[in-house]
Amino acid sequence: MVLTERQLLILQIIIDDFIRSAQPVGSRTLAKKSEITFSSATIRNEMADLEDLGYIEKTHSSSGRVPSEKGYRYYVDHLLAPSTQILTEVDILAMRSVFAERMYGLEKLVKRSAKILSELTNYTSIVLGPLVNETKLRSIQMLPLDDDTVLSLIVTDKGHVEKSVVKIPTPLDKTELERFVATLNARLIGVPLVELKTRMYEEVNDVIHSKIENYASILETIVSNMNKNEKSSLIVSGKTNMLSQPEFNDIDKVRAFMRAIDKEADFYNVLRKNQQGVHVTIGHENELHGIKDCSLITATYTNNGEPLGTIAILGPTRMEYSRVISMLNLLANEFSQWHEKQ
């Protein structure tokens, strides 16, 4: 059964109102709205139908109605004012400012966007920087710190630096190290980071065998470090913002949420698998347990159509979907453009 015009109108107003007020909305409140030309009794009848269909719920038998997750889903899919200009000038300027300023380095850009986003929305923002498989090796450097310690740096073409401090078993021959590094660089520059681990062994295997065990040990450490740091480009900003949302007046919800958001690795996995475009995941649609009361909106940004990274906002299910989606769209665009200029 499909919804009538009037039911859609009522559903829309209920959700809009609830998003604003966080209070269950009753038939009298609705009847006062200027869009509504019929009486509260009619509204009650329609609301009863909407409830039977699962779009709205009561918090108790004589309360006003609250959107269900199904209701939000319908709202997001069909009712969202399509491409209406929701953002204020202030919002737009704030976001553009991140890119307008002469910025140095992608990592800062990611951090700053996350911050702006969480400040503007008062939700929690999560930004995933470019995935490692997009970047290529720019240079490998090794600097001896002591007799038995080497600092190795892996620099990518995007200006990212992975460092690892390696302890080596036998004392170091400096010129030999230099030759080793030169070999590595000669053979590996330009290799995508994601292939680096395997290529490293392939390309330099013969060289290593002819040398002492030091180099095997160094490579071992570098490779194992790369695994760990893959996830480092995840920035979470505004973790405490959710505390000011009324749905988090319950201490147990706060606990669950904070615990969930502390496990950044989980979010990494969720965000990484995101397809292109904007996606909204509402309440129990989320895989992660701690955020079943929340909605997650994600947007990917691209470089020439290739997905590079993800921007996301985590808020209560009662989220300002329309505004947040517009913001993410804008920001993802700016990101993509920024990348193409690089």
Partner DNA sequence: ATTTAGCACTCGACACACAAGAGTGCTAAC
Partner DNA sequence: GTTAGCACTCTTGTGTGTCGAGTGCTAAAT
Retrieve residue 220's tokens. Answer: 């071992």
C-alpha count within 13 angstroms, C-beta hemisphere, residue 6: 13
Residue type, 212: I
Give the nearest distance from C-beta 8 to DNA in angstroms. 14
- Distance, CA of 189 to chain centre: 30
Closest CA to 196 of 217, 180, 219: 219
> Taking the complex as a whole, how short is the minimal distance between the CB of residue 18 and a second copy, in angstroms?
22
Please pick, from the candidates 159, 289, 306, 337, the single residue that binds a second copy as defined by CB under 8 A. 159
Smaller CB separation from DNA, 7 or 229: 7
CB nearer a second copy, residue 1 or residue 251: 251
Cα 98 to chain centroid distance, Å, stands at: 17
Residue choice 7, 40, 221, 225 for contact with DNA (CB under 7 A): 40
Helical (H) or strand (E) element with 97: helix 89-100
Bridge partner list, 316: 294
Contact call for residue 63 and DNA (CB under 7 A): yes
The residue within the footprint of DNA, chosen from 20, 22, 58, 161 (CB under 7 A), is 58
- Binding-site size for a second copy (CB under 8 A) equals 39
Distance CA(74)–CA(72), nearest Å, equals 5
When binding is defined by CB under 8 A, the residue of 44, 136, 163, 187 that contacts a second copy is 163
* Among 149, 170, 198, 269, interactor with a second copy by CB under 8 A: 149
Asked if 96 touches a second copy (CB under 8 A), the answer is no
Distance, CA of 188 to CA of 89 (rounded, Å)? 47
- Residue 147 interacting with a second copy (CB under 8 A): no
Q: How far apart are CA 184 and CA 157, in angstroms?
A: 16
What the block records as the tokens of 119 is 């400040």
Does residue number 157 form part of the binding site for a second copy (CB under 8 A)?
Answer: yes
Q: Which of residues 212-231 bind a second copy (CB under 8 A)?
A: 221
Cβ 203 to a second copy, closest distance in Å?
Answer: 21
16: Cβ–Cβ under 8 A, 6 or more apart, which residues?
none
Burial of 61: CB neighbours in 10 Å, binned 0-12, 13-18, 19+ = exposed
Range 270-309, binding a second copy (CB under 8 A): none
Query: What is the dihedral sign for C-alpha 114, 115, 121, 122?
Result: positive
Position among 10, 16, 17, 64 found at the interface with DNA (CB under 7 A): 64
CA angle 231, 331, 257 (to 5 degrees): 50
Question: Should residue 189 be labelled a site residue for a second copy when binding is judged by CB under 8 A?
Answer: no
Residues that bind DNA (CB under 7 A): 24-29, 37-42, 44-45, 47-48, 51, 58, 60-65
Residues that bind a second copy (CB under 8 A): 102, 104-106, 108, 138-139, 141, 143, 145-146, 149, 151, 153, 155, 157-159, 161, 163-167, 221, 239-240, 243-244, 248-251, 254-255, 258-259, 262, 342
